[in-house]
Amino acid sequence: MKVSTKIRAALIGTGVAGVIATTAFLTFAAVSESGKALETQVENQLRSVRAIKKTEIENYFTTISRQIVNMANSTMTENAIVQFSKSFQSVESEALPKANQAEVLNNYYVNEFGRTYQETNNQATDATSKLNTIGTSGQLLQQAYIGLNQNPLGSKHLLDKADDGTTYSEVHEVYHPNYRKYLESFGYYDIFLVDTSGNVVYTVFKELDYATNLDTGAYKDTGLAQAFKGAKNLKAGEFAFIDFAPYYPSYDSPASFIASPVVKNGERIGVIIFQMPIDAINSMMTYDSEWRADGLGDTGESFLVGSDNLIRSQARMLVENKDAYLDACVLPVWQKKP
C-alpha cells in the first residue's frame, strides 16, 4: 500500500472514530438530560401533590376549629353543660338501679369490649381495672347507658333516655338527639361535654370514657384529658388540639381531640371536646384509594407525618396489600405502644 493511501486510511479511521465518539457522547448527554428532565418533572409533580394536600389538611382543620368554637359558644351547649353538670351530681341519690345491672356492665367490659379489643390488637386486656376507678355516679350512668342499653356495641348512641328514674336522663333525652345528629352530619367519632371538675358528664357514643373523671380517673393521662386540661383555662373562641395517639376506650385505635371552653356570662362552665375522625384524613391522603386515577402510578403515595416523624395516615401498601405491609413490620403510630 502506498504511503498516501495509508495516510488517507488513517485519517478516515481517525475521523470515523471521532464521529463515533462524538455520537456516543451526544447520545449519553441526551439520555442524561432526558433523565434529569424526567426527574425534574416528577419532583415538580410531587411538590404539587404536597402543596395540594397541605392546603386540604389545613382547610380541614380550620373548618373543625371553627365548628367547635361555634358549638362551644352556642346557647344549646351552654345550657347543656349547666344541666348535665347539675343532674350528674344527683344521679347517686335519684337512680333506681335494677338488681343485676352492675353484673351486666361488668360482663360488657369483659366480653363485648374485651373481645373486640383482643380482635383489634391481637392481645387480651383487663378492662375491668378501668371500671374500678369510676365513681358511683359514673358507674350508675354506665350501667344505664352502656350495660343495660339493648343496642349492640358501636350503637349505644341510639338510646335517647335510660329507664333509671334520674333527672339526668330527662336532660339526656332533650339534648342527645341534637348532638347525635351533629356528630353524624359532620362525621366526628365522638362529642364530649366535661364540667369544670373534669367529669365527662355527656358523650354521644358512650364508650368506656363516658361518665369518668379526667383529673383522677383511668383516662387522666390520655389525649382526651390533655384536651380538657389544655382548653379549660382558655378564653372563649380559643381551642386546644391534641395529636393522634392510641386511645384505649376506642380499642387503642388512633384518636385526636380538639377542645374549646364553654363560657357563660363571662364564667367558664366546662369544655366541649370533639374526637377527630381519622377516616376523613385517610380519605384525603389516600385519594379514596384511587392513586392511579390521580396520577401516582403503581407505587406513588402521599401521607401525613407528625413532628415526631411518625406517619398519621394510612400507607398505600397497608390498603392494597395488608399482609405484605405487616410482614415488612412497618407499623403506623397508632399501632406503636408507648
The 10s digit of each residue's pLDDT in 128-152 is 999 999 999 999 999 999 999 999 9
Q: CB atoms < 10 A from the CB of 331, how many?
A: 15
Distances (CA, A) of 6 to 15, 18, 39: 14, 18, 49
Does the pLDDT at position 278 exceed 80? no
Q: Which of 105-114, 252-261, 291-300 has the lowest mean pLDDT?
A: 291-300
Percent of the chain with pLDDT over 70: 71
- For residues 140, 141, 142, 144, the Cα torsion angle rounded to the nearest 10 degrees is 90
Q: Which of 52-61, 72-81, 199-208, 291-300 has the lowest mean pLDDT?
A: 291-300
pLDDT band with cut points at 50, 70 and 90 for residue 11: very low
**What residues contact 96, with CB distance under 8 A and at least 6 apart?**
164, 165
- CA 76 – CA 94 distance, rounded (Å): 25
Percent of the chain with pLDDT over 90: 61
- CA 306 – CA 108 distance, rounded (Å): 35
Of residues 50 and 204, which shows the higher confidence score? 204
- CA 18 – CA 133 distance, rounded (Å): 87
Supply the DSSP symbol for 205. Answer: S
Task: Return mean pLDDT, the chain.
Answer: 83
Quick: pLDDT tens for 18-63.
Answer: 444 444 545 555 556 666 777 777 677 667 767 777 787 788 889 9
- Is residue 251 within 8 Å of residue 116, measured between CB atoms? yes
Does the pLDDT at position 182 exceed 90? yes
Domain boundaries, the chain: 1-41, 58-276, 281-335
Question: Given this model, what pLDDT does residue 16 score?
Answer: 40
Does the pLDDT at position 175 exceed 50? yes
- CA 263 – CA 278 distance, rounded (Å): 29
The string over 97-133, giving b where at least 16 C-beta atoms fall within 10 Å of a residue's C-beta and e elsewhere, is eeeebbeebbebbeebbbeebeeeeeeebebeebbee
CB neighbour class for 270 (10 Å; exposed up to 12, middle 13-18, buried from 19) = buried
Secondary structure of 9-33 in HEC code, one letter for each residue: HHHHHHHHHHHHHHHHHHHHHHHHH
Longest dimension (CA), the chain: 126
Give, in words, the CATH class of 58-276.
alpha beta
- Is residue 270 within 8 Å of residue 194, measured between CB atoms? yes
Tell me, rounded to whole angstroms, the distance of Cα 206 from its chain centroid.
17
Q: Which among 202, 240, 246, 259 has a CA at the least distance from the CA of 83?
A: 202
Quick: pLDDT tens for 31-43.
Answer: 566 667 777 776 7
Quick: pLDDT tens for 307-330.
Answer: 666 666 656 556 666 676 666 654
Bin 254: left if φ > 0, else alpha if -120 < ψ < 50, else beta. beta
Element (H, E) at 49: helix 3-72
Q: Which of 34-43, 85-94, 204-213 has the lowest mean pLDDT?
A: 34-43
Question: Given this model, what pLDDT does residue 10 score?
Answer: 39
Bin 323: left if φ > 0, else alpha if -120 < ψ < 50, else beta. alpha
